[in-house]
């Protein structure tokens, strides 16, 4: 009976049930394994390099920064390869490369070796991120935004579990413990590659007659590049949690330092519980534009809320931080779902790899500049810098609609996809 007390619980449970499609289940298991290892590494891996190998933190930071910058174009180039040869086998190769690069960290002893290993690993990471998006698009079909939302929820859950496991090595604080984290993370890449072997091969999608060849396909698509840039600006909201708030809470508020972990827990729990439901509400281009616009207003409001905590008492600041983070996370959920829809819906099917690579390039570029930019805005220029950040995020949300409409016109998206609704949003 639809009116029974159990009906709402049954409807809620459907959001968290494993997908029925076999390919979807394979991708979910892949992300579960892959992000568990990442969670372990993020919690303890860098300390292996400093506390076990003995690198100064400045050298580790330099090597990782250089590797990250050098690897930025990899996603675009690898995306093009996938358009020509298919995504599955290429993704498996990249995962194996990441696995060997991770295991090679057990052998590095000087800065040059660390730079080489870090660069190889970063290239594999950039490429596999792009390929993951392409695989989700090919396997998900009309359900690809929901599938990607589901996988994002799973990845947050799995990464939290991995971080908890990595905390054991942190507590032990010895070489065997740190080496265990590195080796286990390395092995997860090989297991992930083996899991993806269960997927269909997904041959390349033929280009339609008259499609622009090579570079002109995406580099000449200025509206799509504008959407990519605006999404990159909106992406600055993610490092607010990992960069700006930890420093803000510990150095500029009277809130207990434990609030750094508390806001992270609030964010993680809400993403795990609600990303799928939010993703299901973003079903076409119009909904994506509306979600980006709403997210922009949310981030402006939360930026202001975070800024005022520097003038509040410890417990009042703590309460405001928790509430603001909960609201901020809803903006994050809307932004994530909207970016999934726009990245897929505005790209031609035969060039998804190249377009997803460019879209990911924007995200990676924003994440690369985020630590310095957010430190400047939210710490050095506080509290006015928080307002500037909120204004940037709002502006990117408001401008996404016109940019996406232009991209939809250029792409000639069919009415059946819903993306042409951007023109009337």
In this prediction, residue 269 carries a pLDDT of: 95
**CA nearest neighbour of 134 among 94, 183, 175:** 94
Residue 2: burial class (beta carbons within 10 Å; 0-12, 13-18, 19+): exposed
pLDDT at 363 over 80: yes
Percent of the chain scored above 70 by pLDDT? 92
**DSSP result, 44-109:** HHHHIIIIII---HHHHHHHHHHHHHHHTTHHHHHHHHHHHH-SHHHHHHHHHHHHHHHHHTTT--
pLDDT at 367 over 90: yes
- pLDDT (tens digit per residue) in 166-188: 999 988 999 999 999 999 999 99
pLDDT band at residue 14 using 50, 70 and 90 as cut-offs: low
pLDDT at 414 over 70: no
Note every long-range contact of 372-376, with CB atoms under 8 Å and residues 24 or more positions apart, other chains counting.
373/236, 374/236, 374/239, 374/240, 374/243, 374/244, 375/243, 375/244, 375/247
- pLDDT (tens digit per residue) in 195-220: 999 999 999 998 877 655 554 478 88
**DSSP result, 319-366:** HHHHHHHHHHHHHHHHHHHHHHHHHHHTS-GGGHHHHHHHHHHHHHHH
Residue 310 DSSP one-character state? G
pLDDT band at residue 417 using 50, 70 and 90 as cut-offs: very low
Q: Average pLDDT of 282-293? A: 96
Taking the alpha carbons of 23, 128, 98, 90 in that order, is the dihedral positive or negative?
A: positive
In this prediction, residue 424 carries a pLDDT of: 41
- Domains for the chain: give ranges and CATH numbers: 22-196 (1.20.1250.20), 216-424 (1.20.1250.20)
**CA nearest neighbour of 96 among 238, 196, 198, 213:** 196
Q: How far apart are CA 359 and CA 350, in angstroms?
A: 16
- pLDDT (tens digit per residue) in 87-114: 999 999 999 999 999 999 999 999 999 9
Q: Average pLDDT of 248-268? A: 94
Q: What is the 3-state secondary structure (H, E, C) of 264-281?
A: HHHHHHHHHHHHHHHHHH
The structure tokens listed for 165 are: 């496991």
For the chain, the C-alpha Rg in angstroms (whole number) is 21
Q: How far apart are CA 251 and CA 379, in angstroms?
A: 9
Q: How far apart are CA 325 and CA 216, in angstroms?
A: 42
Q: Average pLDDT of 147-162? A: 95
Mean pLDDT taken over the chain: 91
pLDDT at 324 over 70: yes
In this prediction, residue 6 carries a pLDDT of: 55
pLDDT at 388 over 60: yes
pLDDT at 351 over 70: yes
- pLDDT (tens digit per residue) in 26-76: 999 999 999 999 999 988 888 899 999 999 988 998 999 899 999 999 999
In this prediction, residue 354 carries a pLDDT of: 94
In this prediction, residue 142 carries a pLDDT of: 87
CB atoms within 10 A of CB 354: 28
Instruction: Identify whether the C-beta of residue 240 lies closer than 8 Å to the C-beta of residue 371.
Output: no
Taking the alpha carbons of 189, 88, 127, 330 in that order, is the dihedral positive or negative?
A: negative
Q: How far apart are CA 152 and CA 157, in angstroms?
A: 9
Q: Average pLDDT of 250-266? A: 93
In this prediction, residue 17 carries a pLDDT of: 81
pLDDT at 130 over 60: yes
pLDDT at 7 over 80: no
Q: Report CA 96 to chain centroid distance, whole Å.
A: 21
Lowest mean pLDDT among 147-161, 203-217, 306-320: 203-217
In this prediction, residue 273 carries a pLDDT of: 94
In this prediction, residue 218 carries a pLDDT of: 86
């Amino acid at each position: 009976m639809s009116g029974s007390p159990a009906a709402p619980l049954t409807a809620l449970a459907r959001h968290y049930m494993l997908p029925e499609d076999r390919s979807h289940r394979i991708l979910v298991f892949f992300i579960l394994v892959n992000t568990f290892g990442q969670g372990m590494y993020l919690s303890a891996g860098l300390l292996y390099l400093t506390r076990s190998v003995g690198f100064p933190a400045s050298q580790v930071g330099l090597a990782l920064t250089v590797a990250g910058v050098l690897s930025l174009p990899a996603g675009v180039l690898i995306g093009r390869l996938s358009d020509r040869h298919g995504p599955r086998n290429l993704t498996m190769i990249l995962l194996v490369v990441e696995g060997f690069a991770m295991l090679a960290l057990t052998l590095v002893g000087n800065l040059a070796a660390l730079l080489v290993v870090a660069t190889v690993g970063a290239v594999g990471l950039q490429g596999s991120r792009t390929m993951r998006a392409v695989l989700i698009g090919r396997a998900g079909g009309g359900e690809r935004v929901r599938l990607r939302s589901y996988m994002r929820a799973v990845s947050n859950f799995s990464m939290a579990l991995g971080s908890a496991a990595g905390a054991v090595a942190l507590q032990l604080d010895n070489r065997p413990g740190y080496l265990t984290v590195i080796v286990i993370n390395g092995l997860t890449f090989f297991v992930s590659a083996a899991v993806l072997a269960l997927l269909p091969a997904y041959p390349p999608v033929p280009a339609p007659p008259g499609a622009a060849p090579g570079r002109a396909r995406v580099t000449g698509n200025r509206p799509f590049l504008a959407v990519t840039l605006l999404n990159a600006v909106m992406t600055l909201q993610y490092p607010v949690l990992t960069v700006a708030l930890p420093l803000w809470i510990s150095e500029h508020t009277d809130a207990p330092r434990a609030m750094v972990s508390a806001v992270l827990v609030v964010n993680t729990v809400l993403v795990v519980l609600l990303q799928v439901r939010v993703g299901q509400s973003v079903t076409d281009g119009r909904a994506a534009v509306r979600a980006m616009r709403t997210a922009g207003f949310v981030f402006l409001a939360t930026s202001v809320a975070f800024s005022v905590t520097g003038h509040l008492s410890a417990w009042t600041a703590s309460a405001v931080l928790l509430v603001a983070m909960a609201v901020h996370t809803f903006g994050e959920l809307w932004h994530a779902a909207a970016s999934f829809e726009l990245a897929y819906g505005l790209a031609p099917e035969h060039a998804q790899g190249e377009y997803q690579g460019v879209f990911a390039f924007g995200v990676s570029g924003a994440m690369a500049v985020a630590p310095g930019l957010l430190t400047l805005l939210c710490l050095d220029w506080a509290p006015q810098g928080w307002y500037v950040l909120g204004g940037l995020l709002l502006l990117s949300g408001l401008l996404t609609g016109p940019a996406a409409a232009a991209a939809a016109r250029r792409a000639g998206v069919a009415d059946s996809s819903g993306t042409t609704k951007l023109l009337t949003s």
